Structure 1
Amino acid sequence: MQATALTGRAPAAFPVPVQAKNDARLIALWLHGKGGLTRKAYARDVAAFLAFAAKPVHAVTLGDVQAWIDALVVSGLKRSSQGVKLAVVKSLLSFAHKLGYCAFNTGAAARAPKGKADLNARILSEAEVFELFAQAKGRDRTLLRFLYATGARCAEASGLTWADFNEDGKGGVTVSVWGKGEKLRHISIPAKIWGEVRALRRDGDGPASPVFRSRQGGPVSRSQIWRIVRTAAAKAGTGRDVSPHWLRHACASHALDRGAPIHVVQSSLGHSSLATTTAYCHARPGVGVGHFLGV
């Protein structure tokens, strides 16, 4: 029996080639094409899960996944972080099933525990945001204002170079950032913010030079950005465990509060789903809709 030109089917006697002979190869195939930061985070989460389960991927059961979820809950990890880690493991198990590495998609039935939505608790008021600005100076203050004005993620701001900014000659400025999944998006920024950012440029800086520099001259690291935000929040007396992502939440929420079209906010923040952007509307019901970025 031979394959036909119409069906392209291989003879039944020919076995389907094995795609992965071990977990390491499976995970390498699954991570292929993902961005560098994503690969590291996903690999870390999967390694932690497999260490917990103490068995190879093909032997993992639904009970293993559920026990791991329970352990995450007991650890006190934030509910949103629990969901992210579960999504990573479910993605791997689904991929393993599609590849024929596992007989079943073990993670399909796994569900993260339900709990009270806490997005509203992680949205700073405009007054709180401006108080953060007041507690920082120089580069740190400019960085905080940039994060708020653009909704850029911590890693996106860390990797910015001067080549990422584009002036249109009419007073408008856009910054190009590489987001999750290696997706490129372009964000318009206010002239005032651009003026502050541009003031950080040093003589001799070229297109590839970092915008936000560390004291050693390289790009400011994500951990440094976390410290900058945490320090400002502590000085401002917010009384909350503020992270850089809170400024992204504030950017989205305040933009919608001031009447920015939801599809524009979605595009600016790089949300793949409109539902993600819409969550900010539900997080602060009763707040009047009324454009933002007058920072």
Structure 2
Amino acid sequence: MRSENSTTEIIRQADSDEQLIELWLHGRPPHTQRAYRREADRFTKFVDLPLRKVTLADIQQFADHVDEAGLKPSTIQRSLSAVKSLFTFGFKLGYFPFDVGQAVKVPSFRNQLSERILPETDVLRIVSLEPNPRNRAILLTLYAGGFRVSEICSLKWRHLQERDSAGQITVFGKGGKTRTVLIPESVWDALLRLRREATDDDPVFRSRKRGHLNESAVWRIVRKASERAGIDKDVSCHWFRHAHASHALDRGCPIHLVQATLGHSSIATTGKYLHAKPSESSGGYLCCE
């Protein structure tokens, strides 16, 4: 047996910055890996130092750099959050003697959620004017299920199950969470019309090469459909998720049900949609005439 006075061996978990970054990214969703890797590359190219030699001043200079570069506030926040996450991970792993990023302040930015919620009439117009059956089914599924684009791109037919006259879709979502969402009959029918001779392991939304449709292709479908409908906004796939939450709450859906459908970890996240489109304000109680 090892003596209590013997020195405990410290096992090195990473031998290089590159290996540390790979360990940090491991197990994250593909889109998160891409975004975090991009921000890590941005940071390492700027400081041009081994990560163990990075100081708080270096990170603060990087923060000034991304601010002066004219990036969107949300991009700046994501970039600094990624850097902080990397250094926190390295510290917990024993790669760094202390967490140099802990003192970095990540700026907040104006919440633009209310600007990204389309009225029901706009969503229905986008869907109804889409001539391609596959693309129309994609738009309907994004909206009816409140899914993320990564979730629908990875769908196989075995993830869809019949429920009475409609059906349900099971997705493996953000944070490693699995959730099952009931799908309205009209949307279910639109999906089944795509199946034909497909097997359970075939993609629901196929590319021209008969593989899974990638996220960038779905983004192009959404953007083109929005332009066709005359929506003068930079509509993205995630706007359909915003619309799902907002419209469901407007129609009286319990907030905990919206939370479960969208897979939010906190009810506070779902509650942001109530604040984005309030039904009343204390200003209505004032005499302003």
Task: Compute the TM-score of the two structures, normalised by the length of structure 2.
Answer: 0.88
Q: Which residue of 1 aligns with 2:261?
A: 268
* Deviations 1:123-177 (CA, angstroms, capped at 9, x unpaired): 1111111121133122112211110111111111111111011113x33421011
Q: Which residue of 2 aligns with 1:148?
A: 143
Q: Which residue of 2 aligns with 1:293?
A: none
What is the deviation of 1:287?
A: 6.5
Q: Which residue of 2 aligns with 1:8?
A: none
Q: Which residue of 1 aligns with 2:220?
A: 227
Q: Which residue of 1 aligns with 2:287?
A: none
8 Å CA contact retained: 1:38, 1:180: no
CA change 1:76–1:155 in 2 (3 A) is farther
Is it true that 1:196 corresponds to 2:190 in the alignment?
yes
Aligned counterpart in structure 2 of residue 56 of structure 1, from 26, 34, 50: 50
Aligned counterpart in structure 1 of residue 23 of structure 2, from 25, 29, 35: 29
What is the deviation of 1:257?
A: 1.4
Q: Which residue of 2 aligns with 1:117?
A: 111
Once the two structures are superposed, the pairs formed by residues 64-75 of structure 1 within 5 Å of their partners are 64-75=58-69
Q: Distance in 1 between matches of 2:25 and 2:95?
A: 15
What RMSD, in angstroms, separates the aligned Cα atoms of the two structures?
2.2
Once the two structures are superposed, the pairs formed by residues 1-295 of structure 1 within 5 Å of their partners are 2-3=2-3, 11=5, 13-137=7-131, 138-168=133-163, 170-202=164-196, 204-286=197-279
Q: Distance in 2 between matches of 1:43 and 1:116?
A: 25
SS at 1:175's partner residue? strand
Q: Distance in 1 between matches of 2:64 and 2:266?
A: 28
8 Å CA contact retained: 2:74, 2:109: no
8 Å CA contact retained: 1:257, 1:287: no
Provide structure 1 residue ranges, at least 5 long, that are not aligned to the other structure: 5-10, 289-295
8 Å CA contact retained: 2:21, 2:86: yes
Q: Which residue of 2 aligns with 1:291?
A: none
8 Å CA contact retained: 2:219, 2:236: yes
Task: Compute the TM-score of the two structures, normalised by the length of structure 1.
Answer: 0.87
Q: Distance in 2 between matches of 1:130 and 1:217?
A: 28
SS at 2:181's partner residue? strand
CA change 1:136–1:69 in 2 (3 A) is farther
Q: Distance in 2 between matches of 1:287 and 1:78?
A: 31
Aligned residue identity for 1:139: R
Provide structure 2 residue ranges, at least 5 long, that are not aligned to the other structure: 282-289
What is the deviation of 1:3?
A: 4.2
With 234-243 and 67-76 compared, the bigger mean Cα shift is at 67-76
* Deviations 1:174-216 (CA, angstroms, capped at 9, x unpaired): 10112123321111111111011111112x2100111112233
Q: Distance in 2 between matches of 1:29 and 1:114?
A: 28
SS at 1:107's partner residue? coil
Aligned residue identity for 1:259: G
Count matched residues: 280
SS at 1:181's partner residue? helix
Q: Distance in 2 between matches of 1:215 and 1:2?
A: 62
8 Å CA contact retained: 1:158, 1:220: yes
Q: Distance in 2 between matches of 1:209 and 1:2?
A: 55
8 Å CA contact retained: 2:170, 2:178: yes
With 279-288 and 260-269 compared, the bigger mean Cα shift is at 279-288
CA change 1:253–1:75 in 2 (3 A) is farther
Q: Distance in 2 between matches of 1:287 and 1:190?
A: 30
Identity in percent: 43
What is the deviation of 1:81?
A: 3.3
Q: Distance in 1 between matches of 2:208 and 2:8?
A: 61
Q: Distance in 2 between matches of 1:218 and 1:210?
A: 7
SS at 2:90's partner residue? helix
What is the deviation of 1:12?
A: 5.0
